[in-house]
Amino acid sequence: MSSNYVVVKSVIGQAFATSADGVRRALVEGDRLFSGEQVLTEAGSAVTLELPNGETVSLGESAFWQAGELADRSDSESISELEQAIADGFDPTTDLEATAAGPGAGGGAGGSGGGHTAIVLDETGEQVQATTGFSTDGLASAGLATEEDSAAPTSSFVDTTAPAAPNVSLQLDSADPNDRITNNGALTIGGTEAGATVEYSTDGGQTWTSSFTPVEGNNTVSVRQTDVAGNTSGATTISFVLDTQPPALTISIDPITEDNVLNANEYGGDIVAVTGKVTGEVAVGDTVTLTLGGSSYLGVVIELPSGELGFSINVGTGDLADNNQISASVTHTDVAGNVGTADTTRTYD
């Protein structure tokens, strides 16, 4: 190794060395400069160099210096002098001053030094190049490529299985829960897969829509589902009658007496049977209410001897005597759950 070099003694800020073939490197304390290298300091920087003959050169900020032909150090010992000293018993491994750094310079666990990364220095063409780290050759592997890198999925799943037909029922089968006659046409759909699309058809599967609106009267609707993979189930069909109209009915009161006049003889008893008729959507057993002033009398619809429907309710003669008007009302709930009411009044003397 050539001894014709300049040693960088100190660096403040940023200083660079450029070789004759244009390679530029940042300088640190302890670096060596060889013939032909140029030194440049940046603004606010300074560097001190030691020449081979022991002299020092100080460069301030934004300074330039170039190494010329360098001579060997004047204090270099000749080979013959060293050989003679060794022959006289001189041991260079113990008698020379320890170097600033070397194999034994690293600090131990309890010393002031720290751990070091292995660095190999190669001098080629009067340039020192540091190599550190380790080779990464061979780490690349086709097996490590991600799906995004290869632009092709490593696996795929195809779903061709149709889902089961959904469960369909009336949300509320009013009055009789088993007759499918209701005043509420809303449906309850069950057994659908997550994310599936539910469709309805009212024309036997000719057309399908995403919603269903019941109509008054007879309804027949088919329901199916299509899963997220595009598979369509079979259809479940339900039929029902939608009836939202209250029943139509009437009620009438017969004359209180044959002449509609309560006389002393009739008044002498405790009760008087008040009768009447009901027509329309009524049924035996429906409730009938008679009202006299602040008193009420309850009865039910009965079948009269004539085959007609009506009522016969006993009322107190005291209430009859204290009033001259009687009211009657009847209530009927049809098979769809709709409630109808009819009422009437009659005056008497």
CATH number of 300's domain: 2.60.40.10
- Cα–Cα distance, 132 to 116 (Å, whole number): 11
Instruction: Copy the structure tokens of residue 201.
Output: 């058809």
Domain assignment present for 206: yes
User: Nearest 5°: CA angle at 167, between 161 and 171?
Assistant: 155
Domain assignment present for 192: yes
DSSP string of 108-149, one letter each residue = -SSSS------EEEEEETTEEEEEES---TT---GGG--HHH
First to last CA, the chain: 147
Judge if 114 and 27 occupy the same domain: yes
Judge if 128 and 229 occupy the same domain: no
Pick from 303, 321, 320, 322: nearest CA to 311: 303
Which of 134, 154, 178 is at the close of a domain? Answer: 134
Predicted confidence at residue 115, as pLDDT, reads 44
Judge if 1 and 124 occupy the same domain: yes
Domain assignment present for 156: no
Domain assignment present for 141: no
Domain assignment present for 144: no
Instruction: Copy the structure tokens of residue 111.
Output: 């010393």
Pick from 17, 58, 12: nearest CA to 39: 17
- Cα–Cα distance, 276 to 297 (Å, whole number): 14
Domain assignment present for 227: yes
Return the H-helix or E-strand segment holding 96. none
Instruction: Copy the structure tokens of residue 272.
Output: 């008087």
**Residues facing residue 49 across a β-bridge:** 8, 57
Judge if 229 and 265 occupy the same domain: no
Q: How far is CA 309 from CA 127, 286, 329, in A?
A: 125, 10, 14
Judge if 21 and 115 occupy the same domain: yes
Judge if 2 and 103 occupy the same domain: yes
Judge if 92 and 216 occupy the same domain: no
Residue-number span of the structural domain to which 40 is assigned: 1-134
3-state secondary structure string across 221-283 = EEEEEECCCCCECCCEEEEEEECCCCCCEEEEECCCCCCCCCCHHHHCCCEEEEEEEEEECCC
Judge if 225 and 256 occupy the same domain: no
Predicted confidence at residue 54, as pLDDT, reads 81
Judge if 294 and 175 occupy the same domain: no
Predicted confidence at residue 73, as pLDDT, reads 45
3-class SS of residue 40: strand
Residues of the chain with pLDDT under 50: 1-2, 72-79, 100-124, 126, 132, 141-147
> Structural domain tally of the chain?
3
Judge if 194 and 176 occupy the same domain: yes
Chain centroid to CA 84: how far? 86
DSSP state of 203: S
pTM: 0.51
CATH number of the domain where residue 231 is located = 2.60.40
Pick from 252, 318, 315, 254: nearest CA to 280: 252
Predicted confidence at residue 142, as pLDDT, reads 46
- Cα–Cα distance, 250 to 65 (Å, whole number): 124
Judge if 278 and 237 occupy the same domain: no
Domain assignment present for 140: no
Which of 134, 157, 178 is at the close of a domain? Answer: 134
Predicted confidence at residue 13, as pLDDT, reads 83
Judge if 108 and 1 occupy the same domain: yes
Domain assignment present for 22: yes
Burial of 310 (0-12, 13-18, 19+ CB in 10 A): buried
Which of 222, 242, 262 is at the close of a domain? Answer: 242
User: Nearest 5°: CA angle at 286, between 285 and 287?
Assistant: 110
